[in-house]
Structure 1
Amino acid sequence: MGKIIISENVTLDGVVQDPTGDEGTGRGSWFTWIGDQDRVAWAEVEYEEALGAEALLMGRRTYEYFIRRGWVSRTGEWADRLRDLPKYVVSSGAVGDDWGTTKVLGIEEVAKLKEEVSGEIVVYGSGRLVHDLIERDLADELRLMTYPVVAGAGGRLFPGTSGVKPLRLVGTRAVGGSLALLTYATA
């Protein structure tokens, strides 16, 4: 049985929106405020995570973001690994098969996906999808790469839930000189 791993870049105050500034929120670009040493360390952690994944699960907007940002044609081991992984996109409409093996699912099919895939199913970005996965108790682990920034406003990882969702801390790791990777398992 697969494990759904939510992997997010997040500010200290829980904002996940507009990390690269592409959305023009005026509070974005916080991803770019780290130094080169931190960015290299971050990329190493992300590559490690990709090596441990058996599949990627994303919402449509995140899938399209990866395509717009050139992941289809990027070179290097990390890009190659992501390209080779099967990708599942939760969407009510069609998406292009622009980035390797891609299959569109409805949210109600994610539980079946967990049964079919052995190993880690990693979710990048995908705020709406993450909320649905938490609400439906489908997520198994959260890996939060925490940035030393308070955005003060913006879309949050958990804008609201139907009830308390207990988690337990299973790991902490300093990444570079200013990032912290916090890992929580669902209770």
Structure 2
Amino acid sequence: MGKLIISENVTLDGVVQDPTGEEGSGRGSWFTWIGDADRAAWARVEHEEALGAAALLMGRRTHAYFLGRGWATRTGEWADRLRSLPKYVVSSSAVEGGGWGEPTVLAGDVVEEVAKLKEEVSGEIVVYGSSRLVHTLIEHDLADELRLMTYPFVVGAGERLFPATSGVKPARLIGTRGVGTALALLTYELGRR
């Protein structure tokens, strides 16, 4: 059975929107405010995570984001690993692989499709970005673990990782790790008090 991992870059106040400033939110670019050494440390952690993954799950917009930033043609071990992983994309329409591997489109009921995916995949299924999908996964208790790469900024506005939910969603801290000099990786097991 697969273990669903939500892996997010997030500010201290829980904002996940516009990390690189490309959306023009006026509060973006916080991903770029860390130094080069911290960004290199972040990349090492992300590569480690990719090595432990059995598959990637994402929404259509996040899949397009990766393609638009050249992940299909990037070089290096991290890019090679991401390219080699099976990709599952939640979308109501067709999704092109764009040289990044042909994705499997999950077009039916998201909750049913992801529950079935967890039965079929053995190992970690990692979710990057995909805030709309993440909201659904959290609401329906489908995620097993939450990995928050926390940036030392309070942005004050923007889409947050945790929207309103139908009830309390318990979590248990299972790991903390400093990444570079500015970032903290917080890992939580979901569904546990």
Give the TM interval when normalised to the shorter protein. over 0.9
**Residue 79 of structure 2 aligns to a residue in which SS?**
helix
Mapped partners of 2:165, 2:56: distance in 1: 24
Q: CA deviation at 1:93?
A: 1.4
Which position in structure 2 is the counterpart of 1:90? 90
Mapped partners of 1:119, 1:110: distance in 2: 14
Residue correspondences, number: 187
Which position in structure 2 is the counterpart of 1:103? 104
Q: CA deviation at 1:92?
A: 1.4
Would you say the 8 A contact 1:148–1:178 is kept in 2? Answer: yes
Cα deviations across residues 96-152 of structure 1 (Å, max 9, x unaligned)?
Answer: 122203100031211010011000000000000000001111000000000001000
1:33 aligns with 2:33: yes
Aligned 1:5-84 pairs, distance under 5 A: 5-84=5-84
TM-score (norm 1): 0.99
Aligned 1:153-164 pairs, distance under 5 A: 153-164=157-168
Would you say the 8 A contact 1:85–1:101 is kept in 2? Answer: no
Give, as a single letter, the amino acid of the residue that structure 2 aligns with 1:112: K
Which position in structure 1 is the counterpart of 2:133? 129
TM-score (norm 2): 0.96
C-alpha RMSD over aligned residues: 0.6
Q: CA deviation at 1:95?
A: 1.0
1:143 aligns with 2:147: yes
Mapped partners of 2:97, 2:181: distance in 1: 38
Give, as a single letter, the amino acid of the residue that structure 1 aligns with 2:66: F
Q: CA deviation at 1:160?
A: 1.1
- Identity value in percent: 80
Would you say the 8 A contact 2:174–2:188 is kept in 1? Answer: yes
Give, as a single letter, the amino acid of the residue that structure 1 aligns with 2:2: G
Give, as a single letter, the amino acid of the residue that structure 1 aligns with 2:9: N
Q: CA deviation at 1:162?
A: 1.0
Deviant stretches of 4+, over 2 Å: none
Give, as a single letter, the amino acid of the residue that structure 1 aligns with 2:117: L
Would you say the 8 A contact 1:3–1:120 is kept in 2? Answer: yes
Cα deviations across residues 38-65 of structure 1 (Å, max 9, x unaligned)?
Answer: 0000000000000000000000000000
Mapped partners of 1:179, 1:55: distance in 2: 25
Counterpart pick for 1:119 among 119, 123, 126: 123
| Unaligned 5+ runs, structure 1 | none
Cα deviations across residues 7-64 of structure 1 (Å, max 9, x unaligned)?
Answer: 0000000000000111010000000000011000000000000000000000000000
